[in-house]
């Protein structure tokens, strides 16, 4: 009771003095805990592009030969070509990823200049039901890329997709395009022997594509 009575008799100035001391102590403790937390937390590095743009010395264990129908209606056999290729899976009704990839490849060809004189792009359709040779030829004419459209029967397309460890799946129905297809977005670099030497992600720039392609001629 005596203690309570003494607290009650304290003036406002005394209470402010006591609270000020505790507030300073609490501030010190909180700052110390914050510094300790920051010291223990690992630093987060900003995302970086792939620093390794070195061409694979040995071929990848997937990829390889293919036989399909080109956009002129002729049989196309990769093993007979003896030139380097960029290969991409897509379809003519693709609303975004395919045009974006073709535009990026067009920029890469511009950067490469004469270094790309033998390089061709293979656009393998994953929509053979709609992508006739004539349709593919018309579609590819809109891009400044020396491309060959390839199609075929469903089993032949599926065999190539599997060989290149790619995928596709019929997606959204009822769109303006009829239906959409979810498909792999990698672009594969094939050397003049028909071996898969590199694959580009959508995040690779045109400059990075050109850097890797130039290594084929070394």
Q: Considering only 35-39, 60-64, 72-76, which range has the smallest mean pLDDT?
A: 35-39
Categorize the per-residue pLDDT at 178 as very low, low, confident or very high, splitting at 50, 70 and 90: confident
Contact 156, 68 (CB under 8 A): yes
DSSP result, 50-87: -S--PPPSSPPSS----EEEETTS-EEEGGGT-S-EEE
Residue 8 has pLDDT above 80, yes or no: no
First-residue to last-residue Cα distance in the chain: 95
Residue 197, both tokens: 């030497």
SS3 for 15-49 is HHHHHHHHHHHHHHHHHHHHHHHHHHCCCCCCCCC
Question: Considering the entire predicted model, what is its pTM?
Answer: 0.74
- At 114-168, the pLDDT tens digits run 999 999 999 999 999 999 999 999 999 999 999 999 999 999 999 999 999 999 9
Categorize the per-residue pLDDT at 14 as very low, low, confident or very high, splitting at 50, 70 and 90: low
DSSP 124: E
Compute the average pLDDT of residues 25-41: 40
């Amino acid at each position: 009771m005596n203690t309570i009575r003494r607290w009650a008799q304290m003036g406002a100035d005394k209470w402010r003095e006591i609270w000020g001391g505790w507030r300073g102590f609490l501030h010190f403790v909180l700052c110390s805990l914050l510094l300790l937390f920051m010291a223990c937390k690992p630093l987060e590095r900003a995302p970086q592009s792939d620093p390794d743009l070195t061409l694979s010395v040995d071929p990848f264990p997937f990829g390889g030969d293919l036989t399909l129908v080109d956009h002129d209606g002729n049989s196309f056999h990769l093993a007979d070509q003896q030139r380097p290729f960029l290969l991409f899976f897509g379809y003519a009704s693709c609303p975004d990823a395919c045009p974006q990839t073709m535009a990026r490849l067009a920029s890469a060809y511009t950067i490469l200049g004469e270094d790309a004189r033998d390089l061709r792009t293979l656009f393998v359709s994953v929509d053979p039901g709609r992508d006739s040779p004539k349709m593919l030829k018309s579609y590819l004419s809109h891009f400044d890329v020396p491309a060959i459209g390839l199609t075929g029967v469903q089993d032949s397309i599926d065999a190539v997709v599997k060989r290149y460890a790619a995928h596709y799946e019929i997606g959204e129905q009822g769109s303006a395009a009829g239906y959409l297809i979810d498909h792999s977005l990698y672009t594969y670099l094939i050397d003049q022997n028909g071996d898969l030497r590199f694959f580009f992600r959508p995040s690779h720039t045109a400059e990075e594509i050109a850097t890797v392609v130039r290594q084929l001629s070394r």
